[in-house]
Amino acid sequence: MISRADRIFGCLIGLVFADAVGSRFEGVDPVQLRSQFSDKLSAFEYASNRGGLQYTDDGQMALAIAEHLAENTTIVSEALMTRFVNVYEPWRGYGRGARVLIEAFRDKADYEFMAEHLFPGGSLGNGAAMRSAPIGLRFMGDTNRILEEAKSSAWPTHRHELGIEGAQLIAVAASLAASESSIDPVMLADSLLPLCSTVVFQNRLARLREVKSDVDIEQFGNGIEAHESVVTALSCFALYPQDYQKAVATAIWQGGDTDTIGAMTGALVGAHVGPSFSTEIPIERLEEGQEFIKYVRELADRLAG
Ligand code: F2R
Ligand code: MG
Ligand code: MG
């Protein structure tokens, strides 16, 4: 029996490690990536073991959401944005819109107007989805609540329906990952599809049902937009729900937004299997090593409590 705290720790450390490893290849063309390594596991192992491992905006914002939920019973969008501002380290590599909005909020500029109009209809980037998995574990099993909380978590930076729905899908998938004993493409698609209101995600989830091997994943994209990355990560998880290294290596092997597709995939596998995978990968190479792992462990315990 895997405890709730262990699943949260697995989710957070799985997200952060995959983000750090995937960031080594962010923006790389998959053809180029695949010409440099003999297979996906070699690429994963190479990136895991060379240089320092630092998380990017994905990890920074996901940890901020976990902290917010450890201290509050519900997500308050404005308070969450204040937290994003307080932890903001631009060198970690933020999305263009997210950076503008965080700085506008910090500087008391016309943030509300920008959040609505910086992009047509608001941002549909994957920045809300990359950070929403902890919400699924905090409100595990309560789908309506997860949908509502995920929307509140997206709102500070992502107001487009695709940006919000991406966050909702990853959060509900994290809840399923933690509560269901068996995951596969058909069950994941059938569980998520009825919750979707956008045709874009409905179409992609209908196709997720048919995924049988790695070659079927490429159709879902590797881009920075929510609809070009969220179902890609769901597919990697659904194909390898028990195997962290294979799932994350498959995500990174797609090229493009490798840190983010990796982070979403790693969070879901970690929620499903707990932290058992962490003995097989060098998590102590993350950030300041044992101190950081201890911090994430304590955060998971607080969130579970
Ligand atoms: N930004 C990056 N990586 C590139 C730079 C990293 C480099 N290593 C560095 O050091 O600088 N990665 C991170 O950004 C992604 C998440 O982005 P987020 O938070 O969603 O940002 P944003 O700007 O809101 O959306 C991303 C882009 O999507 C396009 N877009 C958004 N809404 C749109 C709309 N309504 N219409 C058309 N396009 C829209 C824009 O190009 C946005 O800039 C993650 O990959 C994270 O790792
Ligand atoms: Mg990133
Ligand atoms: Mg990214």
Q: Is the CB of 165 under 6 A from ligand 1?
A: no
Ligand 2 centre and the CA of 267: distance in Å? 14
Instruction: Say if residue 55's pLDDT is above 90.
Output: yes
The pLDDT score that the predictor gives to residue 62 is: 99
Confidence of residue 51 (pLDDT cuts 50, 70, 90): confident
In sequence order, the β-bridge partners of residue 125 are: 225
The pLDDT score that the predictor gives to residue 129 is: 99
Q: Note whether 118 and 97 are within 8 A (CB).
A: yes
Q: Dihedral sign, CA of 198, 200, 201, 206?
A: positive
- How many Å apart are CA 131 and CA 133, to the nearest integer? 6
- How many Å apart are CA 78 and CA 153, to the nearest integer? 9
Q: Is the CB of 119 under 6 A from ligand 1?
A: yes
The most distant pair of C-alpha atoms in the chain lies apart, rounded to whole Å, by 50
Q: Whose CA is nearest to atom 19 of ligand 1?
A: 127
Q: Note whether 178 and 271 are within 8 A (CB).
A: yes
Instruction: Say if residue 224's pLDDT is above 90.
Output: yes
pLDDT in tens, 26-36: 999 999 999 99
From 84, 94, 114, 258, mutation site for ligand 1 pocket: most ligand atoms within 8 A of C-beta: 94
Instruction: Say if residue 214's pLDDT is above 90.
Output: yes
Ligand 1 centre and the CA of 283: distance in Å? 27
CATH class of 4-304: mainly alpha
The pLDDT score that the predictor gives to residue 176 is: 98
Q: Note whether 22 and 228 are within 8 A (CB).
A: no
Instruction: Say if residue 12's pLDDT is above 90.
Output: yes
pLDDT > 90: percent of the chain: 99
Ligand 1 centre and the CA of 87: distance in Å? 18
Radius of gyration of the chain (CA): 17
Q: Whose CA is nearest to atom 18 of ligand 1?
A: 127
pLDDT in tens, 129-174: 999 999 999 999 999 999 999 999 999 999 999 999 999 999 999 9
Q: Is the CB of 160 under 6 A from ligand 1?
A: yes
